[in-house]
Structure 1
Amino acid sequence: MTPDLRPALPRRDALLYAFGSFSGNLVSRAMAAWLFFFYAANREGADIPARVPVWAVGTILTVTTVLDALDDPLVGYWSDRTRTRWGRRIPFIVLATPPWALLFFLLWIPPVDGVSALNAVYLFVVVTAFHLCGTLSGGPLESLLPEIAPRSADRVRIVTWQVVFGTLSAVVALIFTGPIIDRFGFAVMGAVVAALALLSRFLALVGAWRHARLDVEPARLHVLEAFRWTLRNDQFLYFLPTFVLFNMGITLMTAALPFVVEAIIRPPEGRVGTYTAILAAVPIGVVLLSLPVVYRLALRRGKAWVYATTMLLGACYLPLLFFMGFVPGVPRLAQALLFLAPVGVCMAGVFVFPNAIMADIIDYDAIRTGMRREAMYYGTQNLIEGSVEALHALILAGLLALGSTAENPLGLRLVGPVAGLSILVGYLIFRGYKLPDTVRPDTIPASLLR
């Protein structure tokens, strides 16, 4: 059945499924904002003690991210080949979500107060287990999108709401977590985030449950053959690096924000979390304000056009953050607020459409191969994304080594230009993407079906 001939997804179920984006964004943004800082805050005058040397934190987070990336296509392959009375995806979500939430909480209660090899081992083990459970739960949840929302309009509606809920989760992760940490500590923050993530993911499952298809034949390709077929999809190869590189740039900026606050903004003692929250609130607010415009542009010009345009804006603007906090005669906090506001416009367009574009790419693959392999595509995406994004911890550690103090903030000033360069490379690659907004045999350019 072609996508546009299937019935529309009920609004209630679309909203519930979209609410699942709250969980993944919540934990990933909270980790990006605080985990490096929590374990490696060993600079003189820092609010919290060091637990693991900074170079070790960078290495551990890089290695665990690579390991996480390696299991993504394997879990996707397993899910594509699964046959149960609940379908191919739901059993994974039901069984893996509770331990995933618990492991997030455990990240914030290391066994030793102070620098210790035991803390390093603990960080490695808990992060590795957390990523594995996240893959087992999140990958199948993502893979439900193409089958529960076969129409382009439904997909755009869902991914727009996913950005709304993802932005709200960023409010919690980047704005409310700071004051919670300042008042109650990191363990309470971890418990609150874990509970909210658990609730969000199960509500998404409620929305998708009765629309999950039970009539899809499990894919029968061997794992290596399935991986090769995925990488033969030229449109997938034009799309994938773009989101990976953009996300790496945003993650790098997010992880650097507490350091920027501490070294450049220089708040009163004990207020790093609150000031970080204030700065994070500005682009998040702009994201929400931009969504109606982005949605209408997508309906008029297409998902790919809006996606590419906002990516180009980000590549051009982020290098200007080099000057944030160093304009003479303007208070440093006011400068930071003004510089960070336009970042929200770039984030809005690029965060809305990747899942919808991926669903189009999967439809294109099904037309070419006759098989539905959603989870393999999302797993491969996460493999490449994780392998590249793992570099952000090492890049951040390298930039911090260039200077992360009030006397020498060079490394922190270079975060914006490095992020902008990453996004520019992604934009140039995406210029090869040619799929239409609705993917059917009669709408795909003939050159792509040869």
Structure 2
Amino acid sequence: MHADQANAGGAAVPPVRRVRQSTMLSYGFGAVAYGVKDFAFSTFLLLFYNQVLGLPSARVGFAIMCALLLDAFIDPAIGFLSDRTRSRWGRRHPWMYASAAPIALGWLLLWNPPTWSNQAMLVWVFASAVLVRTAVSAYEVPSQALSPELSADYDERTRIMAYRYLFGWVGAMAMLMASYGYFLSGGLLDRQGYIGFSVGGAVAMFVAILVSALGTHREIGRLPRPEIEKQSIGANFRDLKETVRNRAFLILMAAGVCYYSAQGIAYALSNYLYAHVWGFRGGDFQWLGLTLLAGATGAFLIAPRLAKRTGKPLAAMGFMAAAAILLTAPYWLRLAGLFPEPGNPLLLPILLSIFTLNTVCAVSSTILGASMMADVVEHSEMETGRRSEGVFFAGFFFVQKCTSGLGIFAAGLILSIAGFPEAAKPGTVPAETIDRLTILFATLYMTLAFAAAFFYRRFPFGKTEHLARVARLAEAGRES
């Protein structure tokens, strides 16, 4: 019997197949929503509440980190409930459709706070950040859980993730260029510019989610529909505990905690580094957006091909180590007096070339990490008898959201330790303060990124083991 036909009958393992192009494009397009959210949240939120509204950076970072603590409960709950959802629209799509409006509303509230006292404003950023994070989880966790359900093929899963990350970066870079070139063209400290910034982001996320949900709707009948037994809350928690103890999952979580925290720090400090270390001005940010998009496109083309030749764990380790070296090299060279100074015509092309290569490597490593997470599903199913896509990708997504929570908190501490002044204009910050900032940033980033590379290499299985596992599960499904 053909794999699609077998699955249509309710098999609990997805077909080993190549996903049709229209479905791939629709599925990937949904990541525009997360790209917009992640870029703006990680890059501008600390800047907005600290430099524009004048709240202390460490307190803003702490408020956002407190919002992150709730995610430790929200994300796994959404993943677990998504896995157990039963409807005529399947397990994932009800969540995807229902999340669009709350995400847009939360986004508008986050960037348009009332004029209150500092303490009340901190409560506002906490509450609105919780709303945004919860709504994004309600979309992103079920949406990511679709990836292992669309195909069980080892290499096709990397291609699926490549599309998803490409569109995520398209959304992020489109928001970057729109922010610097249009919404905030009057300056990063212009509060009025953030009104259009919030509306543009809300509309983009709303449209991306609905397009993705509608474009993948026809796949519902082909997705796995495992049987779920009714059981007590205590039994559900025991199942959840057994699921998340999977060794391969824990290794990827460790790698994700390290890398995504490093990425979050880089994002949160990016405007400070671009403006105060490299002297970027208006048009430079447009070139930066195109450069990072070119790097993401390179990763889309390179990561699946290299992983097919070397295997995902080895390729992910190599990409991660290279990304750490490339991103921090300009800062070490600058401290050694070996990099062009701001104003030198060579600075921008050299810096952007390095950033392009860094983006290729960094995005490639994250594509492969997500693809390996998809493969954990069948590894766990063999051990527990349950498919837990939602639980695994809830954990993975929680780690990704740590980039904006822990990253902003760590960035606030770095700025405080470096003695960076509030509302500082480029060219007015003392050189020794800039040096302290770059040393702290580069050291922490390298440490975390190399730790991530170490964990990626420890992933316990490859293509041969995965395909054998899928074949055994498919055979068991036909016999049952």
TM-score range (shorter-chain normalised) is 0.7 to 0.9
Aligned partner of 2:361 in structure 1 is 346
Determine if the alignment matches structure 1 residue 265 to structure 2 residue 278: yes
Q: CA deviation at 1:111?
A: 0.7
Aligned partner of 1:448 in structure 2 is none
Q: Do the aligned partners of 2:244 and 2:392 also contact (CA within 8 Å) in 1? A: no
The equivalences for 1:415-434 within 5 A come to: 415-434=441-460
What secondary structure is seen at the aligned counterpart in 2 of 1:216? coil
Taking structure 1 as the reference length, the TM-score comes to 0.88
Distance (whole Å) between structure 1 residues aligned to residue 37 and residue 66 of structure 2: 19
Aligned partner of 2:306 in structure 1 is 297
What secondary structure is seen at the aligned counterpart in 1 of 2:459? coil
CA offsets per residue over residues 17-53 of structure 1, 9 Å max, x none?
A: 1111111122111111111101101xxxxxxx33422
The equivalences for 1:5-404 within 5 A come to: 6-41=16-51, 49-112=52-115, 116-179=118-181, 180-183=183-186, 185-212=193-220, 213=223, 215-218=225-228, 222-266=235-279, 271=282, 275-323=284-332, 327=337, 330-332=340-342, 333-334=347-348, 336-384=351-399, 386=401, 390-403=405-418, 404=420
Aligned partner of 1:46 in structure 2 is none
The alpha-carbon distance between structure 1 residues 277 and 35, as it changes in their structure 2 partners (threshold 3 A), is farther
What secondary structure is seen at the aligned counterpart in 2 of 1:111? coil
Q: Do the aligned partners of 2:262 and 2:403 also contact (CA within 8 Å) in 1? A: no
Q: How many residues align?
A: 433
CA offsets per residue over residues 342-377 of structure 1, 9 Å max, x none?
A: 322322311322322111001111122221111111
Which deviates the most, 7-16 or 20-29? 7-16
Amino acid at match of 1:185: G
The equivalences for 1:403-414 within 5 A come to: 403=418, 404=420, 405-407=429-431, 408-409=433-434, 410-414=436-440
Aligned partner of 1:447 in structure 2 is none
Which deviates the most, 406-415 or 20-29? 406-415
Distance (whole Å) between structure 2 residues aligned to residue 219 and residue 203 of structure 1: 33
Which deviates the most, 357-366 or 216-225? 216-225
Which deviates the most, 285-294 or 417-426? 285-294
Q: Do the aligned partners of 2:43 and 2:270 also contact (CA within 8 Å) in 1? A: yes
Distance (whole Å) between structure 2 residues aligned to residue 209 and residue 329 of structure 1: 52
The alpha-carbon distance between structure 1 residues 37 and 88, as it changes in their structure 2 partners (threshold 3 A), is same
Q: Gaps spanning 5+ residues in structure 2: where?
A: 1-10, 187-191, 421-428, 472-480
Q: Do the aligned partners of 2:255 and 2:455 also contact (CA within 8 Å) in 1? A: yes
Q: CA deviation at 1:118?
A: 2.7
Q: Do the aligned partners of 2:104 and 2:203 also contact (CA within 8 Å) in 1? A: yes
What secondary structure is seen at the aligned counterpart in 2 of 1:139? helix
Q: Gaps spanning 5+ residues in structure 1: where?
A: 42-48, 445-450
Amino acid at match of 1:33: T
Q: CA deviation at 1:290?
A: 4.2
Q: Do the aligned partners of 2:12 and 2:226 also contact (CA within 8 Å) in 1? A: no
Q: CA deviation at 1:105?
A: 2.2
Which deviates the most, 291-300 or 237-246? 291-300
Distance (whole Å) between structure 2 residues aligned to residue 398 and residue 127 of structure 1: 20
The alpha-carbon distance between structure 1 residues 315 and 262, as it changes in their structure 2 partners (threshold 3 A), is closer
Distance (whole Å) between structure 2 residues aligned to residue 105 and residue 169 of structure 1: 18
CA offsets per residue over residues 327-347 of structure 1, 9 Å max, x none?
A: 467242536435433322322
Q: Do the aligned partners of 2:16 and 2:153 also contact (CA within 8 Å) in 1? A: yes
Which deviates the most, 206-215 or 188-197? 206-215
Q: Percent same amino acid among aligned pairs?
A: 20
Q: CA deviation at 1:219?
A: 6.3
Which deviates the most, 231-240 or 291-300? 291-300
Q: Do the aligned partners of 1:177 and 1:189 also contact (CA within 8 Å) in 2? A: yes
Distance (whole Å) between structure 1 residues aligned to residue 318 and residue 396 of structure 2: 22
What secondary structure is seen at the aligned counterpart in 2 of 1:171? helix
Q: CA deviation at 1:151?
A: 2.3
Distance (whole Å) between structure 2 residues aligned to residue 370 and residue 135 of structure 1: 26
Q: Do the aligned partners of 1:87 and 1:214 also contact (CA within 8 Å) in 2? A: no
Distance (whole Å) between structure 2 residues aligned to residue 251 and residue 63 of structure 1: 16
CA offsets per residue over residues 140-162 of structure 1, 9 Å max, x none?
A: 11111111223234322211111
Q: Do the aligned partners of 2:295 and 2:360 also contact (CA within 8 Å) in 1? A: yes
What secondary structure is seen at the aligned counterpart in 1 of 2:112? coil
CA offsets per residue over residues 104-149 of structure 1, 9 Å max, x none?
A: 1221111118x63332221111111111111112111111111122
